[in-house]
Chain A
Amino acid sequence: MTILTATGVTRRFGGHVALDGLSLEVSPGETVGLIGPSGGGKTTAVRLLSGLDRPDAGSVTLFGRPAGQLRRRDRSRVALLAQEPALVDDFSIAEHVRFAAAIRRVPADRADAAIERVGLADKAATRLADASGGMKRRAGLAAALVGDPELVLADEPTAGLDPILRDELWSWFAERRSDGRSMIVTTQHIGEATRCDRVVVLRAGSVIFDAEPERLRDTADLPESVDIVVAPAVLPQLVDLLIASDLWPVRRTADSVTIDAANAAETVGTITSLLADNALDVISIDTRRPPIDDVFRQLVENQA
């Protein structure tokens, strides 16, 4: 069973194609990351998937009905969390979340629970106009989640947040996932892709990747790295041996060298044999996969 199904969704603004043939399915409890550079079509996708905008081609169904023609009770099963949450500045945090609850016809005690859930119970009386950016984001999140929607579409919810608050936000998202709730999250932070069940990478409106985040690295033609740490005294000898074996160091410190390797496991075997044959003591040998940021950059640039 799927909550949301998008098929060949296309949206044009004048001659500009903002989204080109997005197809997507979201199941209960699934978190899908829409990732891409600025102008990639993420916000357009969120508006189309939530039924706020209509596609020029393709279709979006939510809970089995066209997204633009949802019944009232189905509409309340979806929530939108914008990058800059819609807040009534003259309200206190508690008043705002209760107002959001009233609009969704949810009891006021659920508002208090939502405030507590985002860690604002002791700040509930703070006027939003006087609240910090972080508090506003949390208040917006509480307002979006107060109706316990089955699907939340979050448009760059972590943009501009410090790493601690960003982690907290993802923890709340994880809690929702464990409760069987679904999410579509857009982000420019590729690192956040690893927290999703599935990642869709958008570039200039087109989908260039759609799979589990672990498979993201598979698409990249980037070398892995092998870091060898030895006693400083033996390092020159090790470097000579590596070069003689056609293993060229890309980085060197007082007690270590790093080698790029197309096949890290095979290279580690070669180095281990080399060290043993020459009776050199090694402190450690570690392999590193290519940084996810580099993978993303290559993926986007290769599709340009």
Chain B
Amino acid sequence: MTILVEALVIARKELTELARQPKVLLLIVLGPFVVLAAFGVGYRNEEVALRTVFVGPLDSPYEEAVNRYADAIEAYIVPVAFTSDFLAATEDLRADRTDIVIVLPPGVEAATLEGRRSEIAVIHNSIDPIEQIGIDFATEVAVRELNATVVSATLDELLATARTVDNIVDVQLETRLAPDERAELDDVRALVDKVLELEAGTLARPFTGDAESLVRTFVRPEQHVAPGATGLLIQHLGVSIAALSLVRDDRRGLLTDYRLGPASVVSVMLGKLLSLSGITLVAGSLMTSLQVVFLDIPFRGSVLDAALVLIGLATASVSFGLALATLSRSELYATQSAMIVLLIALFFSGFLLDLDRIRPPFDAIANIIPAAPAIAALRNIQLRGTGSGSAILVLAIQSILGMGAASLLLARRWRTS
């Protein structure tokens, strides 16, 4: 009872202090929302047209093929020119006048007749690894399409020839064959007729693809980013205000007052947890509501599940910040530590990169980052409409461990100082 009364006194002090700083409150709530809104409005959600120059022998079958089948490959790349001047093409690439140079090798026909495959070189000037993956993929698909288109045209010609031959066979051979030979010819003719009914395009491209998501609706980039941004920003808010609050109280001498008060370590920690988690939770709820109302971010799951995840995230983050503060002796140290935690969360929370891409033992870092389970759960709740999974349990364990560590560290400091 005493601990609760002391904790409430300290919680009230924290809330009053923050309430007296309306600009900070405004920044906490509106800042992340404005950033996300700017991203949502400013992000270009369309395929980037890769301006492509083909380099190969002039008047070669390639040039004709590129010109003839430009429509077929324009879904992947935009053919800008066909040239034999490799140096000029690469110069344009360096000057950012084009995005890709595709170099077609000479002597393809001869190589094909000899049973060798010819290699097409693709040159780009990008240093962005994700963009590089996109370029590789787009050019590979474009080259395949070019191959298929050429094969399709060749098949067309072959089929036309076959029809002519079939007619000649019909007229000239039919009367000269023995009855058993005629029966065999009828079988062959039936087979040829089947082949002749096929389209060359279908033979060249027997499959088409159409990806379909279980979510059943298209998720826009800002919609995918929004729950992650909420998780990340709420964690940063909780960690930083908790760390700064304890370090500031220490620097001002209030912790000494609490100690002589006397208030127990648990009262101090509980008071701060109650008030700062409350503020963090309000900020998180407002952020999520504003996203849903004004940015058209979906909310397909249960409000209760989302509320529990946000409560867990707020308490785990504040606990983490309090533990961090007991190791910090200055506000600068606390601020920088909070920034480092944010940086760790950027890479190990699943916000930027899928956690499956991180190798053991580094993937274990996600277990101590409150944003990691929260982001996965918020994405599931908001975008898939499913439950929170084990996130609430993980966040509860993180909260208990964080509070335990913070209390023990402060008690140790009070005992040994």
* Complex CA–CA separation, A99 to B17 (angstroms): 12
Give the Cβ gap from B399 to chain A, nearest Cβ, in Å: 25
* Complex CA–CA separation, A70 to B260 (angstroms): 10
Structural contact, B21 and A75, CB atoms closer than 8 A: no
- Is B261 part of the binding interface, using a Cβ–Cβ cutoff of 8 Å? yes
Structural contact, A88 and B256, CB atoms closer than 8 A: no
Most buried by A among B13, B258, B260: B260
Report the 9 A-B pairs with minimum CB-CB distance, sorted nearest first: A86-B253, A75-B262, A90-B20, A103-B261, A102-B9, A86-B254, A90-B17, A86-B257, A86-B252
Structural contact, A52 and B261, CB atoms closer than 8 A: no
Structural contact, B254 and A88, CB atoms closer than 8 A: yes
* Complex CA–CA separation, A295 to B296 (angstroms): 80
Residue of B nearest to A78 (CB): B260
- Is A105 part of the binding interface, using a Cβ–Cβ cutoff of 8 Å? yes
- Is A100 part of the binding interface, using a Cβ–Cβ cutoff of 8 Å? yes
Which chain B residues border A87 with CB–CB below 8 Å? Answer: 252
- Is A179 part of the binding interface, using a Cβ–Cβ cutoff of 8 Å? no
Which chain A residues border B21 with CB–CB below 8 Å? Answer: 90
9 examples of A-B residue contacts, CB within 8 angstroms: A52-B260, A70-B262, A75-B261, A82-B256, A86-B257, A88-B13, A91-B16, A99-B9, A103-B258
- Residue of A70, A72, A86, A95 near B256 (CB, 8 A) is A86
Which chain A residues border B417 with CB–CB below 8 Å? Answer: 52-54
Which chain B residues border A95 with CB–CB below 8 Å? Answer: 16
Give the Cβ gap from A253 to chain B, nearest Cβ, in Å: 51
Residue of B nearest to A70 (CB): B262
Residue of A nearest to B19 (CB): A90
Which chain A residues border B260 with CB–CB below 8 Å? Answer: 50, 52, 75, 78-80
- Residue of B253, B259, B262 near A82 (CB, 8 A) is B253
* Complex CA–CA separation, A100 to B10 (angstroms): 10
- Is B5 part of the binding interface, using a Cβ–Cβ cutoff of 8 Å? yes
Structural contact, B262 and A72, CB atoms closer than 8 A: yes
47-97 of chain A: CB within 8 A of chain B: 50, 52-54, 68, 70, 72, 75-76, 78-80, 82, 84-88, 90-91, 95
- Is A104 part of the binding interface, using a Cβ–Cβ cutoff of 8 Å? yes
Contact indicator per residue, chain B 248-287, by CB within 8 Å of chain A (1) or not (0): 0000111011111111000000000000000000000000
100-114 of chain A: CB within 8 A of chain B: 100, 102-105
Structural contact, B254 and A80, CB atoms closer than 8 A: no
B contacts, CB < 8 Å to A: 2, 5-6, 9-10, 13, 16-17, 20-21, 252-254, 256-263, 415-417
Which chain A residues border B256 with CB–CB below 8 Å? Answer: 52, 80, 82, 86
Q: By the criterion of a CB under 8 Å from any partner CB, how many residues of chain A are at the interface?
A: 28
* Complex CA–CA separation, A90 to B20 (angstroms): 6
Which chain A residues border B259 with CB–CB below 8 Å? Answer: 52
Give the Cβ gap from A84 to chain B, nearest Cβ, in Å: 7
Asked, given contacts A75-B260, A78-B260, whether A85 binds B9 with beta carbons under 8 Å apart, the answer is no
Residue of B nearest to A79 (CB): B260
Asked, given contacts A75-B262, A87-B252, whether A103 binds B257 with beta carbons under 8 Å apart, the answer is yes
7 A-B pairs besides A52-B259, A103-B9 with CB distance below 8 A are: A80-B257, A82-B256, A86-B257, A88-B252, A91-B16, A99-B9, A103-B263
Which chain B residues border A103 with CB–CB below 8 Å? Answer: 6, 9-10, 257-258, 261, 263
Give the Cβ gap from B90 to chain A, nearest Cβ, in Å: 63
Give the Cβ gap from A161 to chain B, nearest Cβ, in Å: 18
Give the Cβ gap from B414 to chain A, nearest Cβ, in Å: 8
Which chain A residues border B252 with CB–CB below 8 Å? Answer: 86-88
Structural contact, A105 and B253, CB atoms closer than 8 A: no
* Complex CA–CA separation, A86 to B261 (angstroms): 12
Which chain A residues border B9 with CB–CB below 8 Å? Answer: 99, 102-103
Most buried by A among B2, B21, B252, B415: B252
Which chain A residues border B10 with CB–CB below 8 Å? Answer: 103
Which chain A residues border B261 with CB–CB below 8 Å? Answer: 75-76, 103-104
- Residue of A52, A99, A105 near B13 (CB, 8 A) is A99
* Complex CA–CA separation, A76 to B260 (angstroms): 7
Give the Cβ gap from A142 to chain B, nearest Cβ, in Å: 13
Residue of A nearest to B262 (CB): A75
